[in-house]
Chain A
């Protein structure tokens, strides 16, 4: 019985989640896919797909209209970049200065890998003359 109740609660939670993330029926999921890549201008860290502020709602309506006119995703994103600058894009473009944002983590990982490799590399055996010297000293009377 308890197990059933647990399962029920689990699915209840999953069901609630599904309801939140699926878009309202009046706009196509494609609209939200594009809006997710655009910043909501008046929000902090929210995309135009998540926010319910007036601007974000209007942005989604604009996207839906432009899709209806047969515009492509890139053309729609360009429309917003034209007005707000590249700031409006959630992901910085992979060129120019912002290319570094994409490259630096990879470079960092490579450096870290090299460092770890150097640290854990099997040590070279000590040169024979040094070993002999050590042995000789050990045998020496104190």
Chain B
């Protein structure tokens, strides 16, 4: 092997390693894949007790499969200790629910929280969409949730289409709704 060929090979190796390093550094470690949304898997079912203010309208417990496949569902995982993200998105969710309640069901899942603090949060933002209580956060594991807040969009066929990690803003939420609405 001639020495110039060898020099070129070394240069190529260094460039390749440099490229790999650059690619690795550009990746966002917080951008985590959602298996459910990527494969459009059927939304995992759950039955959870509703928080007291919603029992009159929705019953003692909410079973997701009773609503799957009828209309799209926005599933929002939150907790009262999740400050400020959950506090930022709560008014957005409530306003959007009021606007779309005929076409889309919103369900809030209070995760790893205490009931009293959850109720205070609900009162603070006047949340009118059904809220279920999951103090152990088991449903979160079924959805492959990393941390609150996280929002999942389930389409009219009952499949998970979108996973949004972090506080959701009006524009993103409306964009996702356009994707799942007929």
Contacts and interface: CB of A to CB of B under 8 A. Distances in A.
B136 A41 contact: no
A83 interface: yes
A54 B145 CA distance: 12
A101 B41 CA distance: 29
Please classify the interface of chain B as helix (H, G, I), strand (E, B), loop, or mixed, using the class held by over half of its residues. Answer: loop
Contact of B35 (A55, A58, A83): A83
B143 A42 contact: no
Contacts of B145: 41, 55
Contacts of B35: 82-85
B52 interface: no
B24 to A, nearest CB: 12
Given A41-B146, A42-B146, A42-B147, A83 B141 contact: yes
Contact of B138 (A41, A62, A82, A85): A62
A6 B22 CA distance: 50
A87 B111 CA distance: 22
B144 A58 contact: no
Contacts of A82: 35
A105 to B, nearest CB: 14
B142 interface: yes
B33 interface: yes
A87 B146 CA distance: 11
Interface string B126-137: 000000000011
B32 interface: yes
Given A83-B143, A85-B144, A58 B136 contact: yes
Nearest to B81: A54
Interface string A24-56: 000000000000000001100000000000110
B78 to A, nearest CB: 13
Given A55-B137, A58-B136, A84 B112 contact: no
Contacts of B42: none
A61 interface: yes
A81 to B, nearest CB: 8
Nearest to B36: A83
A59 interface: yes
Contacts of B140: 55, 58
Given A54-B112, A85-B35, A61 B136 contact: yes
Contacts of A41: 145-147
A80 B33 CA distance: 14
Interface string A55-78: 100110110000000000000000
Interface of A: 41-42, 54-55, 58-59, 61-62, 80, 82-85, 87
